[in-house]
Amino acid sequence: MLRIKKYVKVSDIDEAYELNQKKRNIIIGGMHWLKMGDRQVNTAIDLSDLGLDTIEETEDFFEIGCMTTLRQLEQHGGLDRYTGGAVKEAVKNIVGVQFRNTATVGGSFYGRYGFSDVLTAFMAMDTYVVCHNAGIVNIKEFSARKPDRDIIVKIIVKKTKLDMAYMAQRHARTDFPVLTCAVSFWAGVWHAAVGARPAKAEVVLGEYLDCGRDISEEDAEKFGEYVASRMSFGSNMRGSAEYRKKIASVLVKRAMLEAGRKR
Ligand SMILES: Cc1cc2nc3c(=O)[nH]c(=O)nc-3n(C[C@H](O)[C@H](O)[C@H](O)COP(=O)(O)OP(=O)(O)OC[C@H]3O[C@@H](n4cnc5c(N)ncnc54)[C@H](O)[C@@H]3O)c2cc1C
């Protein structure tokens, strides 16, 4: 059970950062993950008065505040158009609408969860995590860092021209995924992010491909095999390493073909 002694709704981010430096204090997002643990917390730090619950779109980028919910990601028209529906596809099976109405982007990035559909989708885009202390950090670097006592303020996605598709394998809708996969083409290179291996998402680039956006079924099949051969897979209650490797090559192939069709 989660036990909280004191609750503070902060009025600025510096106050939140200072409070968060104490080991027994925590930032709270939607609290879905936190409430699963058994923990005694001194001060729960709530960022919900800081106006960080919006998605701002400009010509060049999206700025997604850390208190934005997964449901907002799912329903944002600009993100939907930019990703060809891939972000919506990535979050639509996360538990249910009521859950997504409160689960936050900050909590989803901070956890760097192996099973994360959210991390997988954003790894396949030109994404940056804005941390209060560390500043602007590329998503790959952020994902490789251990969770610390910094605060995620917002996420920035640069609007590089993008073709993208998202696919995941689940035993049942709304269950944790067996494998997550986002494939995209931007800056002249194919990107494949695969997560829930069960380790967190990693990206393999198709730099060897000289076909550009125009991919054939054969290119996609080979890219699927290439990506699967360059990643490590593990076993858990949801599937074996061998099964995941096979699924990965198939999902990468299908997602690449789908992204190619969206041009
Ligand atoms: C039963 C269940 C099923 C799930 N299934 C899936 C799934 O299928 N796919 C998927 O992608 N995800 C899934 N998730 C994860 C979920 O989508 C959220 O990512 C998760 O609940 C964390 O979001 P939250 O807002 O609840 O964060 P919280 O539980 O409030 O916080 C999680 C952690 O993040 C920290 N934190 C929160 N905000 C910030 C911030 N701004 N800066 C720094 N640290 C911060 C907290 O201190 C805490 O350590 C599941 C979660 C649960 C509980």
Q: Say if CB 202 and CB 231 are below 8 A apart.
A: yes
More confident residue, 209 or 125: 125
The pLDDT of residue 75 is 98
Q: Going edge to edge, which strands form the sheet with 39-46?
A: 2-9, 39-46, 26-28
Within 22-144, strands assigned E span 26-28, 39-46, 55-57, 61-65, 127-131, 135-138
Complete DSSP assignment for 137-175: EEHHHHHHSPP-S--EEEEEEE----EEEEEEE-SSTTS
The atom of ligand 1 lying closest to the CA of 66 is: 41
Indicate the domain borders of the chain: 2-46, 55-158, 163-261
CA 115 to ligand 1 centroid distance, Å: 11
- Mean pLDDT score, 242-261: 97
In short, whether 36's Cβ falls inside 6 Å of ligand 1 is yes
The pLDDT of residue 123 is 98
The per-residue pLDDT for range 53-71, each reduced to its tens digit, is: 999 999 999 999 999 999 9
- Mean pLDDT score, 77-101: 98
The pLDDT of residue 69 is 98
Q: Which residues, other chains included, contact 219 with Cβ-Cβ below 8 Å and sequence gap of 6+?
A: 209, 211, 256
In short, whether 29's Cβ falls inside 6 Å of ligand 1 is yes
For the domain spanning 163-261, the CATH number is: 3.30.390.50
Tokens for 10?
């902060």
Complete DSSP assignment for 170-181: -SSTTSPPSEEE
CA 108 to ligand 1 centroid distance, Å: 4
The per-residue pLDDT for range 36-47, each reduced to its tens digit, is: 999 999 999 999
Distances (CA, A) of 124 to 37, 39, 147: 30, 34, 21
The one-letter amino acid at 44:
A
Q: Which residues, other chains included, contact 215 with Cβ-Cβ below 8 Å and sequence gap of 6+?
A: 190, 209, 223, 256, 257, 260
The pLDDT of residue 262 is 79
The pLDDT of residue 212 is 80
Q: Say if CB 112 and CB 200 are below 8 A apart.
A: yes
Residue 83's pLDDT band (cuts 50, 70, 90) = very high
- Mean pLDDT score, 195-202: 98
CA 102 to ligand 1 centroid distance, Å: 10
User: Which residue has the least CA distance to atom 33 on ligand 1?
Assistant: 107
The pLDDT of residue 209 is 86
Instruction: For the chain, give the percent of residues with pLDDT over 90.
Output: 96
The pLDDT of residue 214 is 86
Distances (CA, A) of 196 to 54, 116, 200, 232: 28, 7, 6, 11
| Domains 55-158 and 163-261 in one fold | no
The atom of ligand 1 lying closest to the CA of 108 is: 19
- Orientation angle between helical segments 217-229 and 241-261, nearest 10 degrees: 140
Residue 211's pLDDT band (cuts 50, 70, 90) = confident
Correct CATH for 55-158 of 3.40.50.720, 3.40.190.120, 3.30.450.20, 3.30.465.10: 3.30.465.10
- Mean pLDDT score, 65-78: 98
The per-residue pLDDT for range 137-195, each reduced to its tens digit, is: 999 999 999 999 999 999 999 999 999 999 999 999 999 999 999 999 999 999 999 99
